[in-house]
Chains A and B, each alone.
Chain A
Amino acid sequence: MQTEPTDEALMLAYGRGDASAFESLYGKHRAPLFRYLLRHVRQQALAEEFFQDVWSGVIRARDRYKPEARFTTWLYQIASNRLTDHWRAQQRHGTPVEDGEERAAREPDPSTPDHQLSKFEQQRQLQLALEELPPEQREVLLLRLEQELSLEEIAQVTGVGRETVKSRLRYAMDKLRARLGT
């Protein structure tokens, strides 16, 4: 039985000039990466712009890629850097009011006993809870829940210590729990 090449092997193959290796990698990671970006910026156009930036970074760095870490870690590190640039730029131009917070304030309190959450409603609450999170907590949460990265890998992606990651994740989970009433 022929085993599927790993992401790292595919990336190395692309670095050597194998264009089909990139297509395999892209096909495998495009949807999760796009979802990750969209959950952060919540604007399709912005997510598309960042998505393209991230893959351009992958293409540019193909010669320098070394499989010292998982390809996923490496890919999301590029994405995280792009998002950090975005947050920094936003801070320079004044932090806009999180529309998630505004919308959450208008929502009925889900913790009332008579409020029965449908599945649709639950998803909506989750979406709002995600939007309420500070970017650094949201980043850690998404990397953990959607990409299933370990704390060490998230630390590598985000450039902070493992304990910081652990703390951010705990805060994020607490907020989600409170929001969802679980």
Chain B
Amino acid sequence: MTRFTDRQPPPLPPSGPLDEEERALARALRGLPSATPPPELDARILGASRRAIALAPKPHPHRRGWVWGLSSAAAAVLAVGVLLKMHMQGRDAVIAPPSAAPATTQPAAAELATTPAGTNNAATADAALEQPAAADGESKATEARASRTAAETLARATQEAVKARRDGMAAANSAVPPTGRIAPPGAASGRAGPPPAALATASNAAPQPFPAAPTAAQAAPPPAAPVVTDQSTYISMPAPPPSAAAAKAESHPTPIESSPQPARAKEPEQAAHKDDTAREHVEVAGSRITRVESAPLPMLADDAQLPPTQWIERIRARVNAADREGARESLRRFAARYPDAEIPADLAPLRK
């Protein structure tokens, strides 16, 4: 056990030299009898300091590297799997039965248009998919060749497929607005629109027009069947078309952006209304409302007058009020004032 003598500590560096009177008083103060911490207290504190070191998780570079490598490999495998799946879905769309591929203007329909039954108005999608002409007899041979080399040229093929999908969407959007985000009637009428049946279906599915935002083309899923010209054929389809899975893969996480999907003509009108209601609800319940209604917070200097727990709450209030800079500064002052206080995990990112 470490024994400490009651030696006088070495003089501190001159941080504000005492004047003569202060020095005399300081001497007198040092002369006052004063107890020292008992040895058992010393032992307890020193033991705690050693335990803290022993229990602290030590950085293990080898293990960390191993975990990092494994994570990277897993992520790579996942990425390849997703790309492969996307590629295979693209191929499924190509070999889909003609009944599922009437002339459409959607991207998946552009893929379908490569089949013999396709009455093609999406030549760009054809080119992008690197599929030969639909009526060409070499199409099957090309497919077989592409299938054999798929593993080798997976990344490239997938990129091209994605590009084709985008091109197809762009082409489709130039012809018809997406069902979930219908352009205003005036805008739609100015385009080379789909047949009246498709337009009517879209209107019924999503009756509330949205402004034609520039992101609508990206946000809209690319379902193949929803915009088919033959409504009866579409409605009788038992299962979603293969491209629906691809659309799901590209679907966005928020309810707002995924809402176009339920707007398909296949689903009942109530479902569309339900989703519209949900969309409105989400938008209304957004944090922006809270931001507007929050009361102005006191000055930063006032935070320091609060006890620690209330100070932390004030910092949280600043974060909630989107005063991130104020919260950061207040937290910095808090940490300076209470150096041994634990910073709550939810506020820790502010310190970075």
A interface residues (Cβ-Cβ under 8 A, vs B):
14, 17-19, 22-23, 26-32, 34-35, 38-39, 44, 47-48, 51-52, 55-62, 64-65, 68, 70, 72, 74, 77-78, 81, 88, 119, 122-123, 126-127, 130, 142, 144-153, 156, 159, 173, 176
Tell me whether B346 is interfacial, beta carbon within 8 Å.
no
* A17-B58, A22-B49, A146-B29 given; A34·B9 CB < 8 A: no
Q: Are A145 and B46 touching (Cβ within 8 A)?
A: no
**Shortest Cβ gap from A26 to chain B (Å):** 7
B18 within 8 A of A: yes
**Smallest Cβ distance from B244 to chain A, in angstroms?**
51
Partner of A64, one of B7, B8, B335: B335
**In chain B, what residue has the closest Cβ to A73?**
B15
Q: Which of B10-64 contact A (CB under 8 A)?
A: 10-18, 21-22, 25-26, 28-38, 41-42, 44-46, 48-50, 52-53, 56, 58
Can you identify 23 A-B contacts, CB atoms within 8 angstroms? A17-B53, A17-B58, A22-B46, A23-B46, A26-B4, A34-B35, A34-B37, A39-B34, A48-B41, A51-B41, A57-B340, A58-B340, A59-B49, A72-B12, A81-B337, A123-B32, A126-B32, A144-B22, A148-B11, A148-B14, A151-B16, A152-B16, A153-B16
Query: Could you mark each residue 51-79 of chain B with 1 if its beta carbon is under 8 Å from any beta carbon of chain A, else 0?
Result: 01100101000000000000000000000
**Consensus secondary structure, chain A interface:** helix
For residue B271, CB closer than 8 A to chain A, the reply is no
The number of inter-chain residue pairs (CB within 8 angstroms) is 137
The answer to the question of B152 belonging to the interface, with a C-beta cut-off of 8 Å to chain A, is no
With A77-B339, A78-B340 in contact, is A127–B52 under 8 Å at CB? no
The answer to whether A26 touches B15 (Cβ under 8 A) is: no
**B304 on interface, CB distance cutoff 8 Å:** yes
Which B residues form the contact surface with A (CB < 8 A)?
A: 2, 4, 6-18, 21-22, 25-26, 28-38, 41-42, 44-46, 48-50, 52-53, 56, 58, 304, 307, 335-340, 342-343
CA A81 – CA B341 in complex, angstroms? 10
Given the complex of chains A and B, what is the CA–CA distance between A51 and B16 in angstroms?
Answer: 26
B residues within 8 A CB of A77?
Answer: 337, 339
Docked CA distance A128–B155 (Å):
84
* CB-CB nearest in chain A for B22: A145
Contact of A173 among B4, B14, B21, B58 (CB under 8 A): B21
Q: For A35, A39, A78, which residue has the most chain B Cβ atoms within 10 angstroms?
A: A35
The distance in angstroms between the C-alpha atoms of A88 and B305, with both chains bound, is: 13
- With contacts A30-B36, A35-B34, A38-B34 taken as known, whether A126 is within 8 angstroms of B340 at the C-beta atoms is no
Given contacts A39-B34, A148-B12, A148-B15, 13 further A-B contacts (CB under 8 A): A17-B53, A31-B9, A34-B35, A35-B34, A56-B48, A58-B340, A60-B342, A64-B343, A70-B15, A119-B31, A145-B18, A145-B22, A148-B16
Contact for B25 among A51, A57, A176, CB less than 8 A: A176
Residues of chain B lying within 8 A (CB to CB) of residue A55: 45, 48-49
B7, B28, B37 interface centre (most CB from chain A within 10 Å) = B37
Please name the residue on chain B nearest to A74 by beta carbon. B339
Shortest CB–CB separation between residue B276 and chain A, in angstroms? 50
Q: Are B53 and A19 in contact (CB under 8 A)?
A: yes
Query: Which of B9, B25, B58 is packed against the most chain A CB atoms within 10 Å?
Result: B25
